[in-house]
Amino acid sequence: MDSGAAHPGGPPISHPLQADTPKAYPIGTLPDPARGLRALWQAFRLRTRRQMLLARAIRRRTQLTPVADRTSAIAAGDVLCFLCLRNEAQRLPFLLAHNRRLGVRHFLVVDNGSTDGTLALLRDQPDVSVWQTGASYKAARFWHGLADLADAAARACALVPDTRCR
């Protein structure tokens, strides 16, 4: 007889990975311990991946050049809108007005080398902080981690709209 098995009238059988509450399982229906190990391994891999991407973002932060940094005006609880754009001067006034009506209090924008006056338009907005870069948008992993950034900044809400939506 297995040392962990219960005899009739004895204590209930408990799974070794669930130490908090003993549970009884009918014979032959014990949970697969490998499934718990797989979940643990996947959680470890995902955490390691997030830490690697965060370290990469910290290393590459010098690729952004501040144009108009008004982040000191951001209050706790403000709704923020993150934008990465290039040559959007034609759509930008409508996008900013629409999101302001929705309650956005501050825009954090990365201009990816615009040549149509987008940068000048953004620089004139009092609720917009702008950075410029010539680095590849694709290599930046399409703004992964912005939600983490918003959480770290203890903001109430973060929006990442697509400027090309109609």
Q: Are residues 46 and 68 in the same domain?
A: no
DSSP assignment of 53-119, as one string?
Answer: HHHHHHHGGGG-EEEE--GGGPPTT-EEEEEEESS-TTTHHHHHHHHHHTT--EEEEEE-S--SSHH
Q: Are residues 49 and 89 in the same domain?
A: no
Identity at 71, one-letter amino acid code: T
Q: Are residues 32 and 82 in the same domain?
A: no
Q: Are residues 99 and 109 in the same domain?
A: yes
Position 147 in a domain: yes
Position 55 in a domain: yes
Q: Are residues 93 and 147 in the same domain?
A: yes
Quote the tokens at residue 15: 């799974």
Domain carrying residue 12: 8-62
Name which residue leads in pLDDT, 91 or 55: 91
pLDDT in tens, 110-142: 888 889 999 999 999 999 999 888 877 666 554
pLDDT in tens, 85-110: 888 899 999 999 999 999 999 998 88
Residue 54, pLDDT > 90, answer no
**Of 16-20, 43-47, 59-63, 144-148, where does mean pLDDT reach its minimum?**
144-148
| CATH code: domain of residue 86 | 3.40.50
- What is the predicted pLDDT for the residue at 93? 93
- Who's near 17: CB < 8 A, 6+ residues apart? 31, 33, 36
Q: Are residues 57 and 68 in the same domain?
A: no
* CA gap 61, 128 in Å, rounded: 19
Q: Are residues 35 and 98 in the same domain?
A: no
- Check if the beta carbon of residue 96 is closer than 8 Å to that of residue 159: no
Q: Are residues 131 and 91 in the same domain?
A: yes
Burial class from Cβ neighbours inside 10 Å (0-12, 13-18, 19+) for residue 128 reads: buried
Q: Are residues 58 and 115 in the same domain?
A: no
- What is the predicted pLDDT for the residue at 166? 46
Position 2 in a domain: no
Q: Are residues 72 and 96 in the same domain?
A: yes
Position 101 in a domain: yes
- What is the predicted pLDDT for the residue at 127? 94
Burial class from Cβ neighbours inside 10 Å (0-12, 13-18, 19+) for residue 85 reads: buried
For residue 10, name the pLDDT band (cuts at 50, 70, 90). low
Position 39 in a domain: yes
Domain count along the chain: 2
Q: Give the global pTM.
A: 0.57
Position 102 in a domain: yes
- What is the predicted pLDDT for the residue at 155? 47
